Structure 1
């Protein structure tokens, strides 16, 4: 009955978000309680999550009526998450386990890159060199800053300049690193759902490093390909909004699981 309903009506933006956060909670239960015996296969559920939310940012960017506000929400989410992680770890501990979760970094850089692509396309169409230059700069600068942070850390100045890493999102310190740019790739393919699905499959293949002997053991990231299943049923409809809930749920559930694990004596 459920499968028939999905086939008939498809999944709304809201439905896919609900699925995404459900899978995310399962994944983070494994992350926080793996040392307490949480089975490794729980990690499999989380592999499609980042891809799902990258796809949804493409939809958000394409349909937003206020891009500045959209980018501001993601950037503020990044700041809140970074500061919150530090505060939580100041009062609670899982031993050597460090709380570094911050998907807002990936999503902000992804949407910012989509904006850069939009500028470059508009600049080429209207022969405006300034727009092309700004667009290219927006894409390149985060990589330059990543390199700068690496140099500072290697020079022993990382601690003095670490505050920059808390306020400036860079791909090097993003959860998904270079794979965050799957979002902009899906944006380029936004008029062709099948090509978006192909891009996910290609990213999943690349994530294996072409080492197929350790799949499901040492490397499960390729399971991101499972994101294709719900996204193939996306009907393009928004559904319920509940924007504040989804923005708030991410940090709250991570901090809650971390604190619970700490109180139960889990140690890394």
Structure 2
């Protein structure tokens, strides 16, 4: 397959991933080089990206043969990205621009919540009250840790253990998309009807406007997540090529490379 092939039967999982990382690359070029004159409209390309990958995480969780291993891959990705961000910023700088990108956090919390919902459903179906409560605990776990992280961040000084907790535990508080990451679990609950999934995206996009429609192309562009509806409506449910390792590696590597390049070129945000 060469590039994105839009056929009568729609886009495969692979096609949508390629589209997602292409838009992501454009968005991060803007992030790293905006101080050097990269136009603001490049940021628009990135607005649907998180939504696209949240949808794909629903597909991944639903069809994987090992859900716990899938969760572990996301968690390891989160740790690698976090450690890599620290190392890159130790040797390079782009003015006051910090490396806080880590979508693995959003995806891990989202998929963990899906796992919790699944556990609740199985417990209810099998009339196992303990399993149902375990599912509720799984769903609440990121929120509980989020409260702990918020408490630690409000402290005047962070000791080594506190810093380790903040950096090692994915929570909605520290996630890139904050509580918007729960769009993923919502799409999981609506996975049997694509139309309802797309309506959920539209609803989250409306919330993202803050119901302030005067600054939609300037200060607030997050509502453009609604554009994810276009490729997702074309999704045909087929996997296509896999290249799993490439997509996992592309995210951190392209961010680090762009940041290092901006630093070497003397960009100062």
Do both proteins adopt the same fold according to a TM-score greater than 0.5, normalized to the shorter chain? yes
Write the deviation string for residues 97-128 of structure 1: whole angstroms up to 9, x where unpaired: 11000000000111110000000011111111
1:90: Cα distance to partner?
Answer: 0.1
> Which residue pairs with 1:123 in the alignment?
123
Give the distance between the partners of 1:59 and 1:124, measured in 2 at CA: 23
1:157: Cα distance to partner?
Answer: 3.5
Stretch of structure 1 that moved more, 132-141 or 201-210: 132-141
> Which residue pairs with 2:141 in the alignment?
141
Write the deviation string for residues 50-109 of structure 1: whole angstroms up to 9, x where unpaired: 000000010001100011111111000000000000000000001211100000000011
State the number of aligned residues.
264
1:155: Cα distance to partner?
Answer: 2.3
Go from structure 1 to structure 2 and tell me whether the alpha carbon gap of 1:159 and 1:263 turns closer, same or farther (over 3 Å shift): farther
Q: Is the 8 A contact 1:7 1:233 kept in 2?
A: no
Q: What's the secondary structure of 1:74's corresponding residue?
A: helix
1:6: Cα distance to partner?
Answer: 2.6
> Which residue pairs with 2:8 in the alignment?
8
Give the distance between the partners of 1:201 and 1:159, measured in 2 at CA: 42
> Which residue pairs with 1:36 in the alignment?
36
Q: Is the 8 A contact 1:20 1:52 kept in 2?
A: yes
Give the distance between the partners of 2:214 and 2:59, measured in 1 at CA: 36
Give the distance between the partners of 2:157 and 2:146, measured in 1 at CA: 14
Q: 1:62-141, aligned counterparts within 5 Å?
A: 62-141=62-141
1:152: Cα distance to partner?
Answer: 1.8
> Which residue pairs with 2:199 in the alignment?
198
Q: Is the 8 A contact 1:197 1:228 kept in 2?
A: yes
1:18: Cα distance to partner?
Answer: 0.2
1:9: Cα distance to partner?
Answer: 2.3
Give the distance between the partners of 1:119 and 1:87, measured in 2 at CA: 38
| Structure 1 stretches of at least 4 aligned residues deviating more than 2 Å after TM superposition | 157-160
1:153: Cα distance to partner?
Answer: 2.2
> Which residue pairs with 1:53 in the alignment?
53
> Which residue pairs with 1:151 in the alignment?
151
TM-score for the superposition, normalised by structure 2: 0.96
1:189: Cα distance to partner?
Answer: 0.5
Write the deviation string for residues 146-174 of structure 1: whole angstroms up to 9, x where unpaired: 11122122222435311112211011000
